């Protein structure tokens, strides 16, 4: 089976601030990567681009953890639902 690649992607994080923010640089970096490469890279890329704040709801560190983990899961599950082996 051919290796699946990221043709296009849009990422936005609501946990990153008072309003949802697009991760445009992360999207650009992921286009063209194999799904496995994208899953490995997305967490670090998104955390570098986002700058969440600490509030009474959650710490900055916890928000970064959510951004990294949920973005990896998103790409993996979306690829699987699209028919790729991820």
- The secondary structure of 19-72 as a DSSP string is S-EE-HHHHHHHTT-BHHHHHHHHHHHHHHH------SS--HHHHHHHHHHHHH
Task: Examine residue 23 and state whether it is found in any structural domain, yes or no.
Answer: yes
* Mean pLDDT of the chain, nearest integer: 91
Q: Say whether pLDDT at 68 is over 80.
A: yes
Task: Examine residue 2 and state whether it is found in any structural domain, yes or no.
Answer: no
Q: Number of folded domains in the chain?
A: 1
Host domain of residue 53: 12-81
Contact 64, 47 (CB under 8 A): yes
Mean pLDDT over 31-46 rounds to 96
Task: Examine residue 53 and state whether it is found in any structural domain, yes or no.
Answer: yes
Task: Please tell me the predicted confidence (pLDDT) of residue 45.
Answer: 97
In angstroms, the CA 30 to CA 33 distance is 6
């Amino acid at each position: 089976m051919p290796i699946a690649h990221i043709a296009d992607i849009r990422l936005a994080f609501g946990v990153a601030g008072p309003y949802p923010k697009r991760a445009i640089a992360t999207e650009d970096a992921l286009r063209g990567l194999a799904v496995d490469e994208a899953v490995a890279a997305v967490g670090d890329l998104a955390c570098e681009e986002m700058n969440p704040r600490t509030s009474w709801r959650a710490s900055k560190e916890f928000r970064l953890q959510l951004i990294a983990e949920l973005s990896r899961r998103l790409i993996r599950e979306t690829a699987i639902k699209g028919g790729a082996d991820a």
